[in-house]
A and B are shown apart, each in its own frame.
Chain A
Amino acid sequence: MHISTDIWTWVAVILTFGIFSFLWKDNPFYKLCEHLFVGVSVGYTIALTWYNSVYPDLITPLFRQGKPLYIIPFVLGLFYFARFIPQASWLVRIPMGFVLGWASGVAIPAFFQTNIIKQIQGTLLTPGIFSRWDVFLWALISFIGVICSVLYFFFSREHKGALKVAADTGIVFLMIGFGASFGYTVMARMSLLIGRFQFLLRDWLGVIK
């Protein structure tokens, strides 16, 4: 056992216990740690945004290298602050319109290709699925699952007869999906707990490798 002599490890340990104290009940110690976490995160984000993006990508080219075109993003950026001046608040629409227009133009075709076209291709039964029996089986199950799950969300007709059978099958697939998500969520939460315990046992107390 080699207890850490690093002051920052001790700070992290105290904050860890502060967060854990919520398991007993809400208390000022927990609140202090929570606020500290939020404050540090925001401060870190502001500092890093300034030094990694704003200063090298805008301030340096515009004011130190004298590239006049950079005045456009500079002014557009300043327009965001017009929100704080009621008479000029309409100016914020200009950068927002620019960002939304640009982002939509870039994102919509890519999103359509990645999340719709490729996913439909992945669901289709193609000759390739006959290469192995297990590939065929999973492709078939996936195909049935997708069709039935989509039919469950088809509300233009009453769910009865064949549609009811398909919708009910869809519910089974949806429940399996939610179950898998829940199982994974439990694993994630346990992983975080294990990570903190590893920190306490290894970095602080030095009782494990």
Chain B
Amino acid sequence: MSFWERLLKIDRKIIFILMAVLVLFPLLKPLGLGVNSGPRAKAVFDAVDAIPPGKTLLISVDFDPASMPELYPMLVALMRHAFARDVKVLLCGLWITGAGLADKAVTEIPPEYGKEYGKDVVYLGWKAGVDAVILGMGENIKNVFPVDYYGHPLDSLPMMQEVVRLRDIPFMVAISAGTPGFSDWLLYGQSRYGLRVGAGVTAVSAADAYPFLQSGQLTGLLAGMKGAAEYEVLVAKNGYSKAYMPAVAAMDSQSLAHLVILILVVLGNVAFFATRMKRR
């Protein structure tokens, strides 16, 4: 058996082990390859930066634990950015399995900036019926969420005196792992109530989001773990946070893994054509 034939019959377990080692190594010993922020992440950052202090940023937590490594860092970075600028944060969710994740962020992040629940941050929770939820929020948030995730009546929360409907929110970011997600916020929130929407999406759905970006429907886009890392860098660079950046820390592993996949794809193709020529 020739070298190329052996290469084509390589056991997949060897590739798995190789990938595991390549991902583990930079996590233990960071390479410091760095992350550059692109224009799409910058657009989301600028939009959040333009919200006047005291006004509200809406974040929709439309993901589940399966997409947590890519999307949770976005949620945390966005909240840190908002709180550092005294912007209030209103959270809700269209994914039932994301309810616990938003609760985790609401519990952990506001205390870092001395922010109070009810005054600076409110988590509405999850409700069934995507279109009805968004359309209802466009009319009056209290009609859809009479109480928040923790059971407090919305009337008892000072922050909710100023945020009555979607038109009171200057910008929102839908952090989505699929459907329902940013597309539903565009469908009902933007087309009907003129809500400005930014999106943070998993890498799998990034290609679907690009057309909305080019048509101007999406203000900006954070795509996958790279998008999360870009946002973390922007928040840190502008002095809004000094906290640990999990997405940035993961980018060395990501880059190394991609490099090896590229090499394997090229080698696999060369091996395929080399063996085909030999067969002829």
Contact = CB atoms under 8 A, between A and B. Distances in A.
B207 A122 contact: no
Interface string B148-191: 01000000000000000000000000000000000100111011
A48 B275 CA distance: 56
Given A122-B216, A192-B69, A198-B249, A187 B188 contact: no
B192 A195 contact: no
Interface in B191-218: 191-192, 202-204, 206-207, 211, 214-217
A44 interface: yes
Interface in B27-54: 27-28
B13 A23 contact: yes
Interface residues of B, number: 55
B225 to A, nearest CB: 4
A27 interface: no
Contacts of A130: none
Dominant secondary structure of chain B at its interface with chain A = helix
Given A52-B126, A185-B203, A192 B66 contact: yes
Which of A106, A184, A209 is most buried by chain B, counting CB atoms within 10 A of its CB? A184
Interface stretch (B80-88, B104-112, B114-122, B127-135): B127-135
A180 B203 CA distance: 10
A119 B16 CA distance: 41
A142 B131 CA distance: 31
A106 B188 CA distance: 9
A56 B154 CA distance: 14
B225 A194 contact: yes
Contacts of A196: 69
Given A45-B97, A194-B253, A198-B246, A118 B217 contact: yes
Contact of A119 (B131, B202, B211): B211
B128 A53 contact: yes
B70 interface: yes
Given A53-B127, A186-B261, 11 more contacts: A41-B97, A107-B131, A114-B191, A123-B215, A184-B207, A185-B203, A191-B69, A192-B66, A192-B69, A194-B253, A198-B250
Interface of B: 13, 16, 19-20, 23-24, 27-28, 66-70, 96-97, 99, 125-128, 131, 135, 146-147, 149, 183, 186-188, 190-192, 202-204, 206-207, 211, 214-217, 223-226, 244, 246, 249-250, 253-254, 257-258, 261
